[in-house]
């Protein structure tokens, strides 16, 4: 490795000695990683490789494995004791990333068993070249990269067809929908950008036409060839799931502890929901008494109240307007209570539909700007309301979806994704002078999701929606999701039950214990099958972020500003909570 940084910010300013030696290695790893994964480079705002798509041929995979192994050996030889605390954290982050990269390439092998892997990669590779402001002078450069990627689509998808073997049927069925979303983007939206580089427009249109034809061919392959042979198991199995879980969470909490604490949290939340629901039940259903006790009483009383208050819901056509009004109310509350420093109003958060290749994977997402281009658009994506195969089925699905995401619940969704959840947290991380590039690029889902769930809790503890107890009841209902997510993540991927039994257990847990609507529960069941370990980040993240904030407040002493403590906690980047503890010089979590 030479001494010159190859990635902007790869070597932090002012470092010397052992730290400088380490950051030269770190910069070399990031440069090689971006070379091996050009779509990830673009998503990070590094545009040297914009014309290329990732190579997932057998030779391409071997090259990636060799690169990751070489850097893992180099990083393993670094003496962490010689580094400053911040550099020591970065070393741990990079070591974990090389381990996760090799786990994916050598054991998980999504390029063989997951067609959604290729759909996601292609969707992101194109999307991140289209985020510029309308009048940006960089459009010709980005469109030149786009042309290169469009020209590469036929070979990319041909390699995918050759590589994919026997994926799980649930994944292949989903890809029929998500690949169609990519097709719609290339057909309906992308051509509007071509006139931003008039001299290149004819070549862009030609390349886009060939890419569309290749994607249509891939769609036919998925439906007529891949689906009949999609007999693979969506389960990871216990050993592989636990290995992936450790790398996903980067936590000391093991699977048994997570399950025990999740079950206790579910019981506690349901007791609290009954306390909130009983006065509402007496008002809504006078004279409607129940003789049941225990869980049966919770199910009936809470279930009846939730069903009643969920009728206050938007229509399909008013969903986005309802969310925008919720965001404005939430921002007003945050300014009044001064809980955390907020981004300026001109920071350009967009509330918009989820891109087609992700539509339906989750109800909502926050998509941060590229790490190296933090001033670009930030997106709060909301997925489309699912549709049925007939007008009658369509109406039933719409009603179920919008009862789940009713007027009360949408406030919790906006808190989680935007204020003061993901959007505010990433704004703090990106603008932080103490968060290195590595603490931004390699973001921890445990920190990000843990903060977003904790943000919901902090808002309602501060009195948000206090004028109507239905707000708190719906918050507690959505609070059940985090521990339930963790339970089903482990149960589904480590058990060996037949699919029918898995479906029955999961839907009962989501519907009866979690009070979820049918549409929501079935969507979560699919998500739990086609993803793994991510669903555990919400609950583990909440536990660790709650304990971290509590300990930070205690260490700050009486009279300390809770806002200042929270701002500082968010300033280290999106890194594992245990690393924030180390940098804040707090004791290990209990």
State how beta strands 364-367 and 378-382 pair: antiparallel
> pLDDT digit string (tens) for 53-78?
999 999 999 999 999 999 999 999 99
| Cβ-proximal residues to 57 (8 Å cutoff; 6+ apart), any chain | 159, 163
Average pLDDT, the chain: 96
The predicted pLDDT at position 5 comes to 63
CA 303 centroid distance within chain: 29
Helices (H), 164-200: 169-184
Nearest Cα to Cα of residue 459 among 513, 512, 416, 399: 416
Strand partners, 351: 380
The predicted pLDDT at position 361 comes to 86
What SS3 state is found at 153?
A: helix
Question: How far is residue 7's CA from residue 29's CA, in Å, rounded to a whole number?
Answer: 10
Contact between residue 133 and residue 197 where contact means Cβ atoms under 8 Å apart: no
Contact between residue 418 and residue 424 where contact means Cβ atoms under 8 Å apart: yes
Q: How far is CA 463 from CA 201, 412, 526, in A?
A: 54, 13, 35
Query: Angle, to 10 degrees, between the axis of helix 445-461 and the axis of helix 238-249?
Result: 70
Mean pLDDT on 204-221: 98
Given a cut of 90, whether residue 22 has pLDDT beyond it is yes
Nearest Cα to Cα of residue 51 among 143, 163, 174, 161: 143
**Within 13 Å, how many C-alpha atoms sit on residue 102's CB side?**
15
Contact between residue 160 and residue 118 where contact means Cβ atoms under 8 Å apart: yes
| H/E run at residue 350 | strand 349-353
Contact between residue 514 and residue 488 where contact means Cβ atoms under 8 Å apart: no
Helices (H) then strands (E): counts for the chain: 25, 3
Question: How far is residue 300's CA from residue 515's CA, in Å, rounded to a whole number?
Answer: 10
Q: Which stretches does DSSP call E strand in 361-504?
A: 364-367, 378-382
Burial of 550 (0-12, 13-18, 19+ CB in 10 A): exposed
The predicted pLDDT at position 522 comes to 96
Q: How far is CA 546 from CA 197, 267, 575, in A?
A: 49, 19, 15
> pLDDT digit string (tens) for 422-452?
999 999 999 999 999 999 999 999 999 999 9
The predicted pLDDT at position 588 comes to 87
What SS3 state is found at 109?
A: coil
The predicted pLDDT at position 13 comes to 95
Question: How far is residue 90's CA from residue 444's CA, in Å, rounded to a whole number?
Answer: 12
Question: How far is residue 479's CA from residue 271's CA, in Å, rounded to a whole number?
Answer: 13
Question: How far is residue 334's CA from residue 332's CA, in Å, rounded to a whole number?
Answer: 5
Contact between residue 400 and residue 523 where contact means Cβ atoms under 8 Å apart: no
First to last CA, the chain: 41
Share of the chain above pLDDT 90, in %: 97
The predicted pLDDT at position 589 comes to 80
> pLDDT digit string (tens) for 349-358?
999 999 999 9
- pTM tops 0.85, yes or no: yes
Nearest Cα to Cα of residue 371 among 574, 513, 523: 574
What SS3 state is found at 54?
A: coil
Given a cut of 80, whether residue 590 has pLDDT beyond it is no
Nearest Cα to Cα of residue 302 among 261, 265, 272, 323: 272
Encode 219-240: b = buried (16+ Cβ within 10 Å), e = exposed: bebbeeebbeebebebbbeeeb
Nearest Cα to Cα of residue 479 among 380, 528, 409: 409
Mean pLDDT on 42-51: 98
């Amino acid at each position: 490795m030479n001494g010159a940084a190859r990635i902007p910010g790869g070597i932090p300013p002012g470092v010397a000695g052992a730290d400088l030696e380490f950051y030269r290695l770190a910069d070399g790893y990031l440069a090689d990683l971006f070379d091996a994964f050009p779509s990830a480079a673009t998503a990070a705002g590094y545009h040297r490789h914009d014309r290329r798509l990732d190579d997932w041929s057998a030779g391409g995979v071997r090259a990636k494995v060799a690169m990751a192994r070489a850097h893992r050996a180099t990083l393993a030889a670094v003496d962490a004791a010689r580094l400053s605390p911040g550099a020591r954290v970065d070393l741990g982050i990079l070591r974990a990333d090389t381990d996760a990269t090799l786990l994916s390439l050598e054991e998980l092998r999504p390029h063989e068993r997951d067609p959604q892997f290729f759909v996601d990669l292609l969707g992101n590779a194109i999307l991140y070249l289209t985020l510029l402001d309308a009048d940006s002078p960089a459009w010709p450069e980005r469109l030149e990269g786009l042309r290169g990627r469009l020209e590469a689509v036929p070979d990319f998808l041909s390699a995918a067809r050759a590589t994919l073997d026997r994926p799980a049927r649930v994944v292949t069925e989903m890809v029929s929908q998500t690949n169609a979303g990519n097709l719609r983007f290339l057909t309906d939206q992308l051509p509007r950008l071509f006139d931003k580089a008039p001299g290149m427009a004819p070549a862009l249109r030609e390349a886009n036409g060939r890419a569309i034809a290749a994607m249509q061919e891939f769609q036919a392959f998925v439906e007529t060839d891949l689906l009949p042979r999609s007999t693979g198991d969506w389960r990871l199995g216990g050993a592989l799931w636990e290995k992936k879980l450790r790398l996903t969470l980067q936590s000391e909490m093991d699977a048994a502890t997570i399950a025990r604490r999740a079950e206790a949290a579910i019981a506690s939340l349901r007791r609290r929901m009954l306390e909130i629901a009983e006065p509402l039940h007496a008002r809504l259903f006078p004279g409607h008494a129940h003789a049941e006790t225990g869980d049966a009483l919770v199910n009936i009383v809470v279930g009846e109240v939730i069903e009643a208050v969920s009728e206050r819901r938007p229509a399909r056509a008013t969903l986005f307007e309802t969310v925008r009004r919720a965001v404005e109310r939430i921002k007003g509350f945050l300014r009044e209570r001064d809980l955390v420093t907020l981004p300026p109003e001109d920071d350009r958060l967009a509330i918009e539909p989820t891109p087609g290749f992700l539509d339906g994977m989750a109800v909502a997402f926050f998509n941060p700007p590229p790490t190296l281009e933090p001033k670009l658009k930030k997106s709060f994506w909301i997925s489309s309301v699912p549709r049925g195969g007939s007008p009658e089925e369509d109406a039933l699905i719409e009603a179920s979806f919008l009862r789940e995401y009713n007027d009360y619940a949408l406030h919790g969704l906006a808190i989680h994704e935007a204020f003061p959840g993901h959007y505010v947290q990433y704004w703090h991380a990106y603008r932080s002078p103490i968060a290195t590039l590595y603490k931004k690029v390699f973001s921890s889902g445990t920190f990000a999701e843990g903060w977003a769930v904790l943000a919901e809790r902090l808002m309602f503890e501060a009195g948000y929606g206090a004028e109507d107890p239905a707000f708190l009841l719906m918050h507690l209902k959505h609070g059940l999701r985090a521990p339930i997510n963790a339970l089903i993540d482990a149960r589904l991927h480590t058990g060996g039950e037949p699919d029918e039994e898995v479906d029955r257990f999961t839907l009962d847990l989501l519907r009866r214990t979690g009070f979820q609507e049918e549409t929501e529960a079935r969507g979560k069941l699919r998500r739990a099958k086609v993803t793994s370990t991510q669903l555990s980040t919400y609950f583990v993240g909440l536990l660790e972020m709650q304990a971290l904030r509590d300990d930070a407040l205690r260490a700050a002493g009486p009279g300390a500003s809770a806002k200042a403590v929270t701002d500082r906690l968010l300033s280290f980047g999106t890194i594992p909570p245990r690393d924030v503890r180390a940098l804040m010089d707090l004791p290990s979590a209990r």
